[in-house]
Amino acid sequence: MDVSTFSFRALDQEARALLTRLARVKPFALLEPMLPAAAPSPAAQVAIERYLADGRRELRGRVRDFRVWLRRAGESGTRPAEAQKLFTILRLRFNTLLSQFDLFADVITQRSEHETGVWLSGLEVVAADALALPGYYESPPVLCYLDRGPGAAIRRARTRLPGGTESPVAVIRVPRERMVGSGIASSLVHEVGHQAAALLELVESLRPVLKGLQRGAQSPWVFWERWVSEVVADFWSVARVGVGSTTGLIGVVSLPRAFVFRVNGDDPHPIPWVRVKVSCAMGRALYPHPQWDLVERMWESFYPPEDLRPEVSELLGGLVESIPAYVTLLVNHRPRLLRGATLGEVLETRELQPPRLAAYFREWRDRPEQMRRAPPSLVFAVLGQARLDGLMSPEEEGRAVAYLLTYWALENSLRGSGCCAGRGAAPCAPRGSFNRVLMS
């Protein structure tokens, strides 16, 4: 047998082996054991399975076309090097498909963990509620998973995955150290804010405005423009979960002093010390109340701006002075996709005024079934306010959040499977038992 014939036969065998391995990449529905309540939403499952199935189908077709071409190439005197080049491209495409599979497998596998899987499903209900903005965009499915580290992160829907195709879902990495308490809402809804900002093109519409305010390289607006994506996500979080967003942010950025005041020109996140003050200013603008001054003074007591380098002190002073104008700009910003409405108007923050949140808590203490029926983001706003007001201990908060995440996951599972007709139809704890969970 001559070398060319031997080489083409070897490549054909490799192509067939690739098809065999590809056939072993099964749908997650056939691989991952999990409680029904821990399963991703039907929309997320369908989007992922369809996305991966399309990739498998495309690759399978390419391999079959390659084998047909290979038979003809052997007869036409094509060099083995050319055939090897084409097969290498196919193998790289197969590895890309496996990378996409593994990305979602990391998210799906945690659904089999006791309690964690159900809580993740509950967090996805919260995320979907915080992302929803009816009439302005269609929300993509959201998946959550846990990982180490103090902060959360998002791979937004419609961004590029390995191989260049767009992700069919948003994937949010939740810090494990935040499970489980109301502070998780701050991180979760901040990441949701990144997805909302992309759907509304907020960063693109704000950048020209911020550039127009810049006067020199050291202008505070240079930094605000650099940090705009993170500031917008923080704004979304404050608008959705109130003071719980700010106290949760404090929990994330409470770092050694050097990091809290560190100026890093390449970091898209604001200087932590300034970032908390911006969050307080956002709350002050959306929900006027003395609590924001108290939280801000508490933050300054933790990290007094003393003994800093002169250039850092000067920068911080300029940034702090410009914060009210920046927040006013955000509240009154009218991006094209809001069709004339402002950000402050469409986010409908009236229900999150601190006295109203406190009233909800008192009402729900006596009638906890009303808490289960309320929008999840509102529930987290109420719990965050109750913690700040000293009406709920951390132990009570942890039990309540664990119960609510489980309840929302179960309700969503039953509703998604057609087992219930609407909200409130999922099995509930006996009357009074949730009261004990929440308040004891």
330: amino acid identity, one letter: L
Structure tokens at 230: 């993170």
* 84: three-class secondary structure by DSSP: helix
147 beta partners:
175
170 beta partners:
142
Structure tokens at 167: 């992700």
Print pLDDT tens along the chain (440 aa): 678 888 888 888 988 888 888 888 888 777 767 777 888 888 888 888 888 888 889 999 999 999 999 888 877 878 889 999 998 999 888 888 888 887 788 778 888 877 888 899 999 999 999 999 999 999 999 999 888 777 788 999 988 887 788 889 999 988 887 777 778 899 999 999 999 999 999 999 999 999 999 877 678 999 999 999 999 999 999 999 999 999 999 989 989 999 999 998 788 999 999 999 999 999 999 999 999 999 999 999 999 999 999 999 999 999 999 999 999 999 999 999 999 999 999 997 788 999 999 999 999 988 888 898 899 999 999 999 999 999 988 888 888 999 999 999 988 888 765 543 333 333 333 334 434 444 43
Give, in order, the Cα–Cα distances in Å from 11 to each of 39, 62, 83, 94.
Answer: 41, 14, 8, 15
28-42 b/e with 16+ CB inside 10 Å = b?
beeebebbebbbbbe
Question: Helix/strand/coil (H, E, C) string of 135-163?
Answer: CCCCCCCEEEEEECCCCCEEECCCCECCC
> CA 65 to CA 229: how far, in whole Å?
44
Q: How many CB atoms lie within 10 A of CB 119?
A: 25
> CA 186 to CA 396: how far, in whole Å?
18
Does residue 118 contact residue 409 with C-beta atoms inside 8 Å?
yes
> CA 16 to CA 223: how far, in whole Å?
55
Has this prediction a pTM greater than 0.85?
no
Q: Supply the pLDDT for residue 423.
A: 37
Closest by CA to 354, choosing from 292, 434, 273, is 292
> CA 41 to CA 365: how far, in whole Å?
30
